[in-house]
């Protein structure tokens, strides 16, 4: 029964569920290493949601394409080729993680650009070093290429990924402060800035009032 379900839902069983678990566990471990007295559940939920919706499905899709390009890793050249292709794709997952994490916090493009300028290259370099070694172990057969083994490697990596996503750095913090100040000015007089949906509703209401002036005010 279980094997039949896995065959029918390979992305869910082999990528989304184990990948999301690894991301959540990595974030919890990261927060503990940071010395937090209480785990920030909202932060872990953001990490997990980004993983479930964006990172793990994309990883499964690109991984399937790589498997077609390098179907067998029975030689040293094939092992290196597959490891290299995975390394080349890893930057996509890192950028996707930054995008998802910022989107779920309601942050704008200026903050995202600042974060990527400060953190993308160091994070990518760390990922190249870590996953090059991990993939060589997995693809060469020195470590069984199973879902549990991949999850363990992913948990360790996501400790680093969580730190990179949630680290406060000068340029990103300055961009965030400017964004908050801009929202404060738009919410003039202490009123919060209206979201796009509410703004559209207000515009529609004003148009209706102009078209039907007798429908508002005292009669």
Instruction: Summarize pLDDT for 139-191 with one digit per residue, the tens.
Output: 888 888 788 899 999 999 999 999 999 999 899 999 999 998 988 766 544 33
SS3 (DSSP) at 39: coil
pLDDT along the chain (219 residues), means of 10: 71 91 98 95 97 94 92 85 90 96 94 96 96 87 85 96 94 92 63 47 56 43
C-alpha angle 187-188-194 in degrees, rounded to nearest 5: 25
Rounded Cα gap, residues 189 and 67, in angstroms: 58
Structural contact between residues 172 and 118, judged by C-beta atoms closer than 8 angstroms: yes
Q: Is the pTM of this model over 0.95?
A: no
pLDDT computed for residue 201 by the predictor = 53
pLDDT computed for residue 154 by the predictor = 96
Structural contact between residues 134 and 153, judged by C-beta atoms closer than 8 angstroms: yes
pLDDT computed for residue 185 by the predictor = 67
Rounded Cα gap, residues 114 and 19, in angstroms: 27
pLDDT computed for residue 141 by the predictor = 81
Question: Counting Cβ atoms within 10 Å, is residue 28 exposed (0-12), middle (13-18) or buried (19+)?
Answer: buried
Q: Where are the domains of the chain?
A: 2-167, 173-213
pLDDT computed for residue 121 by the predictor = 97
Q: Tell how many helices (H) and how many strands (E) occur in the chain.
A: 10, 0
pLDDT computed for residue 124 by the predictor = 97
Nearest one of 192, 27, 173 to 111, comparing CA atoms: 173
pLDDT computed for residue 183 by the predictor = 80
pLDDT computed for residue 98 by the predictor = 97
Residue 81 Ramachandran class (φ > 0 left, ψ -120 to 50 alpha, else beta): alpha
pLDDT computed for residue 210 by the predictor = 57
Residue 6 Ramachandran class (φ > 0 left, ψ -120 to 50 alpha, else beta): alpha
Rounded Cα gap, residues 137 and 150, in angstroms: 11
Nearest one of 3, 23, 4, 8 to 150, comparing CA atoms: 23
């Amino acid at each position: 029964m279980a094997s039949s379900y896995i065959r029918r839902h390979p992305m869910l069983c082999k990528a989304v569920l184990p990948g999301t678990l690894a991301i959540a566990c990595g974030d919890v471990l990261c927060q503990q290493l940071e010395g937090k007295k209480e785990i920030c559940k909202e932060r872990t939920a953001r990490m997990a949601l980004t993983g479930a919706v964006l990172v793990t499905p994309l990883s499964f899709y690109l991984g399937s394409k790589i498997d077609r390009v390098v179907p067998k890793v029975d030689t040293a050249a094939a092992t290196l080729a597959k490891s290299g292709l995975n390394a080349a794709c890893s930057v996509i997952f890192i950028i996707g993680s930054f995008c998802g994490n910022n989107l779920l916090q309601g942050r704008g493009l200026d903050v995202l650009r600042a974060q990527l300028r400060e953190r993308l290259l160091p994070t990518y370099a760390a990922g190249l070093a870590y996953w090059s070694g991990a993939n060589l172990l997995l693809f060469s057969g020195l470590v069984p290429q199973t879902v549990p083994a991949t999850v363990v490697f992913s948990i360790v990596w996501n400790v680093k990924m969580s730190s990179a996503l949630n680290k406060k750095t000068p340029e990103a913090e300055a961009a965030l402060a400017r964004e908050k100040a801009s929202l404060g000015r738009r919410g003039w007089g202490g009123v919060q800035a209206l979201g796009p949906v509410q703004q559209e509703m207000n515009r529609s209401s004003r148009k209706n009032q102009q078209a039907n002036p007798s429908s508002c005010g005292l009669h």
